[in-house]
Structure 1
Amino acid sequence: MFLLRGLLPEMTPVARHPGWTADQRRTLGDLLSATARSTESALLLTAYAQLWDAEILVRSVFEGSLKVAYLLQSPSSFEERHREYGHDLFRISLLKDHAKYAELLGVLPSVSDPGWRPFRERLLAEEEREEIATAYPKQVRSSLESRWGFTGLIGGLARSGDPIFKGFTGLATGYSMASHIAHADSVGTSIAMERDYRSAERRDAISLAHGVRLMTDVMVCFHIRLAIGYRFISRDPAPVARATKAMTDLKTSFGRVYEDWMEAEYGTV
């Protein structure tokens, strides 16, 4: 946690790049701040051995990092992608929220009760609702959401051939696991309990490996954000190299945690 907290200031040149418009700077600032907050929270949970809850936050860090990477992949596509993320998808989300709140309020017996005012205020004026629905027909909404969803983002970045994203798809397994946990399906609710039924040796080995994997995942995500940001603004990449070395040294310090788990679990290294 302290390593990444110490590295976070290296993102300042990206967040405060003079080439951004005020709107672009706010969008990137919000996204970078969100990933940084969730990263620290995930590391705190990991430190207290709350690994399954940490998985959900690491999923958020992963998805936020994918969006940073997609936004900043190329100067030629930045303005269009920023408009999609910061404007189009925002308005589409307002429309979706309106539908959800309207459905909820529609089944309440006392919708005019003052306690429901926060929900009523999330409803769009009919004129605004129609304007958004007209501007973004269902097919357009579906296309945008698909392109900016997890599968669309990771697939697009992986297929681009961009060397920065080499091996990034390997993080998808953790994302998939976190989905089970976040949605509390039968896999997500049983997987943690199953570990408790293992022998102490197997349980301790996999718990250590799991914790290291979570820490490694957020470090990789930070490195992606830093590298793509510095490349986009044509900044001297020396801080990226320093961050790479610091994170490599930390990973080395964990020793044979993964090999120890493999040996405990499968009797082989």
Structure 2
Amino acid sequence: MKDLMGQAIWDYFKNENPEDLQTETSISELDELPVEYLFRDFSDMNEIEQKALALSFGKVLDIGAGAGSHSLYIQNEKMLDVTALDISKKSNEVCTLRGIKNAVCEDMMTFSAHTYDTILLLMNGTGIFQSLDKIDLYLTKLHSLLNENGQILIDSTDILYMFDTDDDGAVIIPATGYYGELDYIVHYKGESENPIKWLYLDFNTLQNAAICNGFDIELVLQDEDSYLAKLTKAKI
């Protein structure tokens, strides 16, 4: 399995002729993603990311850590115990080389080392759920990783705005499936990965799924069509 995102992160960190990543989805055209964006400082992060990092407390699990920018801030500026978790071996190695003390290369669905006070899923954290029919599996796993008084901070975007409208202003969306279920493709240095399933969720859909899986949920921050949500274990 190719790991083009991880390779780009590695090339940039090692200064080995890095190039911009290119991404596309089943409803959007090719778009440039500068690799340096994945190495940004706190001051260059968006409001949702900054809010999530500010709210983080206790033992932290950063799922989909990538180049480790969120974990580095939590470790070095907030002085918290953080685990940077990513399925990419190259990304994981860069996290370690950047000074993250606890970087783990593993799928979150098989990871079970500890439980955590804060679990972060940022940069469209709902993407890893893949599709609506897998949300319960992932939320059940997240529930098992969370301490009783802990929190999950997760962001996403309602992508309804990306679809056309008819003459009456009604949004034209696919007749089958949920409109936030996309195929996501990464290109780098002339190579392409196979499409992966990637899920964008509107807040109401996430809210319903969270409640059905034993969570209370709060809308922490709304930024146009994107939002940050906080999930906590529902009190019996």
TM-score by length of 2: 0.25
Larger Rg: 1
